[in-house]
Amino acid sequence: MVTPDMFAPSEPRKAPAPAERIAILRDQLNEHAHRYYVLDEPAIPDAEYDRLFQELQALEAQHPELASPDSPTRRVGGKPLDQFASVRHAVPMLSIRTETDTEATGAQNFDVRVRKELGLGEGDPPVEYVAELKFDGLAINLRYEHGVLVQAATRGDGETGEDVTQNIRTIRQIPLRLPKDAPTVLEVRGEVYMRRDHFESLNERQREKIAKGAKGEKTFVNPRNAAAGAVRQLDPAIAAQRPLSFFAYGVGEVTPPEEGGPDFDTHFQLLLTLKSWGFPVAAQTQTAQGASELIAFHEKIGRARDQLPYDIDGVVYKVNSLALQKKLGFVTREPRWAVAHKYPAQEQMTTVLAIDVQVGRTGKLTPVAKLAPVFVGGVTVTNATLHNEDEARRKDVRIGDTVIVRRAGDVIPEVVSVLLDKRTQDAPQFTMPRTCPVCGSDAVREEGEADYRCTGGLFCGAQRKEAILHYAHRRAVEIEGLGDKLVEQLVDAGVVRTLPDLYRLGLTALAGLERMADKSANNLLEALEKSKQTTLPRFLFGLGIRHVGEATAKELARHFGSLDAVMDATEEQLLEVNDVGPIVAQSIRTFFDQPHNREVVEQLRACGVSWPEGEPAARAPQPLSGKTFVITGTLPTLSRDEAKDRVEAAGGKVAGSVSKKTDFVVAGTEAGSKLTKAQELGVAIIDEAALLAMLADPAD
């Protein structure tokens, strides 16, 4: 029933009191921070989080009487300290024993000791353990009283640490307030660490500061040192700028069960409860039955170690039952029920004996530090890459330097940092040579490139195998049957040193090669003879000139008509060619300016390699000029190579991937991700029939 008072204006809703609104904002921000930093499941955009945070800051500034140490705004840090106060741990932060055997047998050794201490025989069931990661960071004790973080302290000597509460509050993975079911007193122990990507970003910012002349700035040696330096930073505002993370792995003092505290039976149950209270616990943590599962865990984590986003130096095994832990007790202040099982060290200190420059298969010049032998990452290392001149200069590695070398898994060892305080005063700065150390050709560095490259591609011994394989490719001059293994044999045996040597091969030389029968040798000689008749575009592509692909080679042949015209063209003349820009023009000119390369070309001609030449073709309008195509799937009548040739002959370009710059995707049967990408970007999709129609009449 409708009544008149139903249409009366309602009273305006009252805004919540400041205390109520502040409480709501703190709860919301804590929940969103937990979802973002711990669960990696953000529920709101960053801008919305910032708006809520700024609202809370403003309210707290207006009502200082409502300030609270558990407020999210306290994460930004307080006043700088003169020094850290000492904190005596209620429960000592003891270290655990390290198993020096880094092999799988180290896990077996621990299990044998535990079973012996517990008096277990061969017929008794396996002991249940918890297997965890051993983080390479800084141990921290977090003390909560009535659910609020009141103190954070370093391990120190185990009995006494340093009060680093202001800095620890800046770590967003650490809750400032706990749920109501948390005990009255709770000390959570864990590791503060820095992710590898955050470490690289931090060092990049440090390098920028140093480049701008900032005083007292430095780069950090490794993530652990960077994390420790941030935690022990006297100015919490600076600590707040250092990206730190946290994992929980145990407890110190806890309100006992008889006073309402938690009553855990196992260590794993304890960890799950910490996770429910908002603490991050490593996802890899698991229970393990006996030595066999500890060994499997050690091997599994060892394989995954290099893919983790943070550094670890081993794993930790703990007896799961807290009753058995109590029974096992301690020896010389180390628990009998736990052990750290390490992996081989990934970083070690050594000396740079020399800096050599190696030339890769594609001509890339790489500076390599020759080191005093050092055992790191499970192997003896004597070489470490410096990557390129810029990297060597940035790290400022010099002969005679004492350096930190890192080797992770199968990654090539590299110099992480230089210990400048150990450098001799007369150590010269490294400079990349301007000629190839193998063949003497010019070494050039193109604009925008980090690497120097040897320009003697056809002559350089270091590039010999790659040059031959490229020349013999089916899209180049094509020498059927000349593959990787055969090229390796020919070069390693000294039978072939440059491309013309291929055409000087005879049955006698080939017969001396492993697994080379008469028939195979004759087939290769026939293929070599057949390859002498080629085309100018194929020959140009086969020379392996940097940046000159099949399409560019075809454009060069069309434009100039003859090889000599290409070799003698100036950069300005080369720039007149369709599809040739400044970098490509410079690369072509540099290649033919090397006498070694010209000599190889002339020798190939003398061996009978030839192609039709003529006057430059008149440049009639081409139907597909300026259009970019991607070909995917199986076409009804054309192979992909045939379709590509026809598109390029009509002036179009064929790309290997779909982008916004793609004009058409030619899709056949079983087209996969490229077709999906085209649909997402709204690129025109056509079939073979439509392509053939465009080639016949582009207006269609």
Cα–Cα distances in angstroms (integers) from residue 70 to residues 64, 90, 550, 624, in the given order: 14, 22, 65, 67
Residues 379 and 527: their CA atoms lie apart, in Å, by: 45
Query: Which tokens go with 155?
Result: 């391990």
Of the candidate ranges 76-80, 218-222, 256-260, 431-435, the one whose mean pLDDT is the lowest: 76-80
Residue 610 DSSP label: B
325 SS3 class: helix
Taking alpha carbons only, the member of 154, 398, 138 closest to residue 252 is 154
Cα–Cα distances in angstroms (integers) from residue 451 to residues 358, 366, 403, 446, in the given order: 12, 8, 23, 8
What pLDDT is stored for residue 408 in this prediction? Answer: 66
Mapping DSSP onto H, E and C, the string for 401-446 reads: CEEEEECCCCCCCEEEEECHHHCCCCCCCCCCCCECCCCCCEEECC
DSSP string spanning 584-596? HHHHHHHHHHSHH
Q: What is the CA radius of gyration of the chain?
A: 35
Query: How remote is the C-alpha of 96 from its chain's centroid?
Result: 32
Over range 382-393, report the average pLDDT.
89
- Which residues make Cβ contacts (< 8 Å) with residue 22, sequence separation at least 6? 56, 59, 60, 63, 66, 71
What pLDDT is stored for residue 331 in this prediction? Answer: 84
Over range 670-690, report the average pLDDT.
90
Helix 484-492 and helix 464-471, axial crossing angle in degrees, nearest 10: 140
Over range 156-182, report the average pLDDT.
91
Of the candidate ranges 3-17, 25-39, 482-496, 594-608, the one whose mean pLDDT is the lowest: 3-17
Taking alpha carbons only, the member of 275, 352, 344, 277 closest to residue 313 is 344
Sign of CA dihedral 79, 84, 89, 92: positive
Cα–Cα distances in angstroms (integers) from residue 122 to residues 108, 211, 295, 538, in the given order: 14, 65, 18, 73
What pLDDT is stored for residue 7 in this prediction? Answer: 40
Residues 539 and 601: their CA atoms lie apart, in Å, by: 10
- Strands 128-135 and 286-289 turn out to be antiparallel
What pLDDT is stored for residue 1 in this prediction? Answer: 42
pLDDT tens figures, 326-380: 999 998 778 999 999 988 777 888 999 999 999 987 899 999 999 999 888 777 8
Q: What domains appear along the chain, each with residue ranges and CATH number?
A: 18-67 (1.10.287.610), 97-342 (3.30.470.30), 347-422 (2.40.50.140), 461-619 (1.10.150.20), 628-696 (3.40.50.10190)
- Strands 628-632 and 664-667 turn out to be parallel
With cut-offs at 50, 70 and 90, classify the pLDDT of residue 77: very low
Residues labelled catalytic = 134
Of the candidate ranges 206-210, 302-306, 351-355, 596-600, the one whose mean pLDDT is the lowest: 206-210
Does residue 48 or residue 542 have the better pLDDT? Answer: 542
Does residue 48 or residue 179 have the better pLDDT? Answer: 179
What pLDDT is stored for residue 75 in this prediction? Answer: 61
Q: In sequence order, which ranges of 63-153 are alpha helices (DSSP H)?
A: 105-118
- Which residues make Cβ contacts (< 8 Å) with residue 121, sequence separation at least 6? none
Over range 177-195, report the average pLDDT.
95
* pLDDT(39) > 70: no
Residues 115 and 125: their CA atoms lie apart, in Å, by: 10
359 SS3 class: strand
Side-chain-side CA neighbours of residue 233 (13 Å): 24
pLDDT tens figures, 283-314: 999 999 999 999 999 999 998 988 899 999 89
Cα–Cα distances in angstroms (integers) from residue 183 to residues 251, 570, 587, in the given order: 12, 81, 71
Residues 285 and 265: their CA atoms lie apart, in Å, by: 17
456 SS3 class: coil
Q: For 182-197, b where at least 16 C-beta lie within 10 A, e where not — what string?
A: bbebbbbbbbbbbbee
Query: Which tokens go with 415?
Result: 């110099």
Helix 290-304 and helix 105-118, axial crossing angle in degrees, nearest 10: 150
Residues 391 and 382: their CA atoms lie apart, in Å, by: 19
What pLDDT is stored for residue 700 in this prediction? Answer: 46
Other C-beta atoms within 10 Å of 523: how many?
Answer: 13
pLDDT tens figures, 112-144: 999 999 999 999 999 999 999 999 889 999 999
Query: How remote is the C-alpha of 278 from its chain's centroid?
Result: 29
With cut-offs at 50, 70 and 90, classify the pLDDT of residue 525: very high
DSSP H or E run through 61 = helix 46-62
Over range 22-39, report the average pLDDT.
78
